[in-house]
Amino acid sequence: MERRKFIKDSALASSLLFVPSFVKAFESVTSQQLGYKRLVIIQLAGGNDGLNTVIPFNNDIYYNARPRLAITKDIIRLNDHLGFHPSLAPLRSLFDNGEMSIINNVGYPNPVRSHFRSMDIWQTASDSNEYLQSGWLGRYLDAHGYKPYNAIEMDEQLSLAMKGEHFNGIATNDYKVLYNTAKDPFFKSVLRHYNDKHLSEHNLGYLYQTMIEARSSAKYIYEKTKVKRSQQNYPQNKFAKQLKNVAQFINSGLDTKVFYTSLGGFDTHANQPNIQKRLLTQYATSVFAFVEDLRQHKTFEDTLILTFSEFGRRVKQNAANGTDHGAANNVFIIGKKLKKAGFYNKLTSLSDLDSNGDLKYKIDFRTVYATILNRWLEADDALVLNNTYKKLSFI
């Protein structure tokens, strides 16, 4: 194959599977059989306002800081102090059934208020002054994975979280398109030329092996998933479609341990009430449909759902009827086997804020990751996170 054609056609391959640096061949990475439990991650991109999501409805400071933004009507009271935004009504049954744990005040030391940098920190599990090129889920694959389809992101591009040093997950927002892309003549050319001596001895041999794995994964996903169609009614939005596809993968018995989804638009500097209401409605109705879909197929018991946002918002409203970038936020854990459901901890004081007027973090987000890795995915959390963090008791 000519080098020019190879480079041109590689653009097609990159949409199928992100190709890592040529650092080490697949067989040089120690892997082991993964467990049967699955993790579904939901990223609320843009910095969701946690105070208007889980509302301290008996706190005068909240209302004084937000004379126009504070939620005053139809709050779904969960205890004597905190309640859901009205748009989260579909999740009330999960909370009441002990299938949701809300962890308040989650963040990290020396918080960064840049979307891109804070998201990198959350996705790589780094310190705020540390820059990593691999994500925490990618490193999970490095340590415990062996096939690209062990981790799937419902998007056209792979997030940093899913990129390891040796292994990466696979990105697709439509498994049928993924399968058809993998049938492109270019991949047949890869297979035909892979044994060429001058290529197999070159670093390009690693790229070819990666693409062969991608082609095989696309075929596996398509063949495994097409036998199980979801019968659950989902809302008509892109986020719901992501979760519907994830449910089909799970209910089909796909050997995937991590699924990554996202819902964007939460950067609410202006006109926050209408925007957040719409987005939280999409989130809650889609998650409810997703959980019901899993229940019907008896797969909810072995699925854990983590929802996070890269940071919260400032306690005080701004002049544009919105909120600016903040720090600590709440994290939702949804699952059937929670040890500590309801509110995992109390909301931190609204009268003791940091110098920027933001909530102070009390729980490092990496302790949440460490707990999930160790107690749910049965992985070596210290190896994946490059450090040892205490475990929490929500699972």
pLDDT digits (tens, 9 = 90+) for 222-231: 888 876 778 8
Give 250 or 204, the one with higher predicted confidence.
250
Judge whether 88 lies within some domain. yes
Among 23-27, 231-235, 284-288, the minimum mean pLDDT is found in 23-27
Angle (nearest 5°) at CA 14 between 134 and 184: 150
Give me the domain span that covers residue 362.
22-176+237-385
Judge whether 101 lies within some domain. yes
What is the arithmetic mean of pLDDT over 129-150? 92
Alpha carbon distances (Å) from 221 to 108, 175, 226, 252: 37, 7, 8, 10
What is the arithmetic mean of pLDDT over 8-29? 39
If one counts every other C-beta atom within 10 angstroms of the C-beta of residue 40, the result is 24
Count of structural domains, the chain = 1
Judge whether 83 lies within some domain. yes
DSSP secondary structure letter of residue 112? -
Banded model confidence at residue 180, pLDDT cuts 50, 70, 90? confident
| Residue-wise pLDDT tens digits, 22-68 | 333 333 333 345 557 999 999 999 999 999 999 999 999 999 999 99
Q: How far is the C-alpha of 118 from the C-alpha of 112, rounded, in Å? A: 6
Indicate the pairing of strand 329-335 with strand 303-308: antiparallel
pLDDT value of residue 185:
73
Judge whether 105 lies within some domain. yes
The encoded tokens of residue 279 equal 């987005």
What is the arithmetic mean of pLDDT over 4-29? 40
pLDDT value of residue 217:
83
C-alpha 302 chain-centroid distance: 17
Intra-chain end-to-end CA distance of the chain, in Å: 52
Alpha carbon distances (Å) from 13 to 86, 144, 159, 252, 259: 44, 24, 16, 26, 21
Query: pLDDT at residue 329 above 80?
Result: yes
Task: With CA atoms as reference, report the closest residue to 193 among 213, 207, 179, 214.
Answer: 207
Percentage above 70 pLDDT, the chain: 84
Query: pLDDT at residue 7 above 80?
Result: no
Judge whether 79 lies within some domain. yes
Q: Residue 282 maps to which CATH number?
A: 3.40.720
The encoded tokens of residue 311 equal 């940071």
Give 121 or 200, the one with higher predicted confidence.
121
Question: Model's pTM, two decimal places?
Answer: 0.89
Report the chain's mean pLDDT, rounded to a whole number.
88
What is the arithmetic mean of pLDDT over 151-166? 94
Judge whether 309 lies within some domain. yes
Banded model confidence at residue 278, pLDDT cuts 50, 70, 90? very high
pLDDT value of residue 186:
66
pLDDT value of residue 206:
57
Judge whether 228 lies within some domain. no
Judge whether 7 lies within some domain. no
pLDDT value of residue 5:
45
